[in-house]
Amino acid sequence: MPEGHTLHRLARLHTEYFAGGPVRVCSPQGRFVDSIVVDGRYFDRATATGKHLFHHYEGGLAVHIHLGLYGFFDTYRVNDGAEPPAPVGQVRMRVASVGDDDEDDGEVGSPRRVIDLRGPTRCEVIAETDVDGVRGRLGPDPLDPAADPDRAWDRIRRSSRTIGALLMDQKVLAGVGNVYRAEVLFRAGLDPFTPGTRMREEDFRAIWDDLVALMAVGVDTGAIHTIRPAHDHGDLPRRGADRPRNYVYQRDGWDCRVCGTPIAQQKLEARTLFWCPGCQAS
């Protein structure tokens, strides 16, 4: 499932592509029947909170998108005056900027953008006033400069659940997924099985500050980067040569980059947790 940095990056890109002009919105798959409600409206901006993306339109409407496990966007550039490519496969929503030829000199305007949304868990039109309701059900987002980490700490310190589980709970922290969960706990040297009631506030603050910094890098680069230069040995990542290197995520059975202990993994509340028993001993 895409983590929070991906949604914030999409919000930044979609604002760049579409803000300030009308867009055409349709549902080639036919399942997003409310697309007709926002088709032709001015696109104001896109925002994100945690793993939720919002397209904001004139007239007090927003499209609420949650990619879930399988959702993703394809993006195309289309020369003005040309037709966008025909949708391929099951496209839930297509958004296209409207071309604008310069009638004075006959030159064609900038290339238009087209995005195709496939496989989301949620794609729905909601009232702008309901956006805050969605956000209100989420914990603080490390990528929100106005976020209050005390809200997360108050829930963590009162919970008997493990910190490894709590970091994945979107009601506690918004946007943290399996990769960031594993990596920040390793970077902090914390046992992922520590109950929230036994967490020290300074350890939580260190995790929060690390998430703020690491997820900002993710927004800028489009990838998760967590290894400190001293621990980057230039090895190939387990998930493919084009993927970032990790400390522990999906490195089970491999030697820890820091202490050499084999990385462990086990299920924790239906998700696979990765950690180093040496560096993260209780």
Q: Maximum distance among all alpha carbons in the chain?
A: 72
Q: Which of 51, 92, 118, 187 is catalytic?
A: 51
Query: 31 an active-site residue?
Result: no
Query: 171 an active-site residue?
Result: no
Instruction: Tell me the sheet residues that pair with 96.
Output: 24, 114
Q: Which of 2, 140, 142, 192 is catalytic?
A: 2
Query: 271 an active-site residue?
Result: yes
- Residue 274 to residue 186: CA distance in whole angstroms: 9
Over its C-alpha atoms, the chain yields an Rg (Å, rounded) of 21
Eight-state DSSP code of residue 230:
G
Q: Which of 3, 92, 112, 245 is catalytic?
A: 3
Query: 3 an active-site residue?
Result: yes
Smallest Cα–Cα separation from 141: which of 1, 3, 2, 282? 3
DSSP 166-229: HTT-TTTSSS--HHHHHHHHHHHT--TT-BGGG--HHHHHHHHHHHHHHHHHHHHHSS-----G
Q: Which of 24, 135, 157, 271 is catalytic?
A: 271
Q: What residues are annotated to the active site?
A: 2-3, 51, 271
